[in-house]
Structure 1
Amino acid sequence: MSDFSNALSVSSSGLRAQATRLRVLSENIANVDTPGYHRKTIPFETSGRRDGVQQVETGKVNLDRSELEQIYDPQNPMANENGFYDGSNVDLIIELADAREAQQSYEANLKMFEQTREMSTSLMDLLRR
């Protein structure tokens, strides 16, 4: 396999991993106010070597088992006898920061993919002359 194919393979695996990460982060952000919602996390893992190139992939989605926020609202039908109910353990600031990081990583992988494709096209044009 050529170096161009290897570079495209690595950057495309990064694109897939970051896209999955963004999907999980968006689910967390969408459920920030959902009572009883546990934040989801997704690890990155290296896959076995494929054509001599190690790639990144996502692991199994995990639930954050940290304590849920206790919200005081005696009028809420989910409230216990003390007036509290379980909120979510999603911290919006952390999720937004993680989403920003994933977006930047996605864009970097996309840029690498585009530059590799352009270099490959330029090389093919040179070889045709």
Structure 2
Amino acid sequence: MSLFNIMNIASTGMQAENVRLNTTASNIANANSVSSSYEDTYKARHPVFAAALDQASSDQTKGVGVNVLGVVESAKPLQMEYSPGNPMADENGYIYKPNVNVVEEMADMLSASKGYETNVQVADTTKRIFRRVLQLGQQS
């Protein structure tokens, strides 16, 4: 595996973690929103990733990166609360809140941040190796 492939893998990892961070931030930002209907209520979103395998030939692997296949809405049920005095209440007096668990989202944000940081470190280490190889070539 060449150093260029390592940089490509690290960059796709950073892109994926960036999507995860943005999705998590959106979930947290909408965690306290309220709606008067089930359909209009914000639903937590989560990115879907897959390994992107590049084949150099039929028997040798170049590398594996990360593909973001998309962002899906959570299937968890929304929170329904009886609040007849709320101006957002429906005709039965219920308001609807998102299915966002802020504690889980914060844990996911920390995990995504660490994943991003790890990919940055891999890219930085690879860059230093490139420099050392170039320096060795100049000394010959």
Same fold (TM over 0.5): yes
2:22 maps to 23
For residue 82 of structure 1, report the CA deviation from its aligned partner.
4.3
Instruction: Spell out the pairing of 1:45-84 with structure 2 (5 A cutoff).
Output: 45-49=50-54, 52-84=62-94
Indicate the percent of aligned positions where both proteins have the same amino acid.
27
Structure 1 residue runs of 5 or longer lacking an equivalent are none
Q: 1:27-48: per-residue Cα shift (whole Å, max 9, x none)?
A: 1011001221100011111124
80-89 vs 90-99, which moves further:
80-89
Q: 1:7-34: per-residue Cα shift (whole Å, max 9, x none)?
A: 1111111011101111111110110012
Structure 2 residue runs of 5 or longer lacking an equivalent are 35-40, 57-61
SS of corresponding position for 2:81: strand
For residue 72 of structure 1, report the CA deviation from its aligned partner.
2.9
TM-score by length of 2: 0.85
TM-score by length of 1: 0.91
**How many equivalent pairs are there?**
128
22-31 vs 48-57, which moves further:
48-57
Alignment counterpart, residue 96 of structure 1, candidates 106, 110, 120: 106
**Aligned-residue CA RMSD in angstroms?**
1.5
Whose strand fraction is larger, Structure 1's or Structure 2's?
2
Cα distance in 2, alignment partners of residues 22 and 99 from structure 1: 6
SS of corresponding position for 1:61: strand
After TM superposition, the runs of 4+ consecutive aligned structure 1 residues lying more than 4 A away are: none
28-37 vs 46-55, which moves further:
46-55
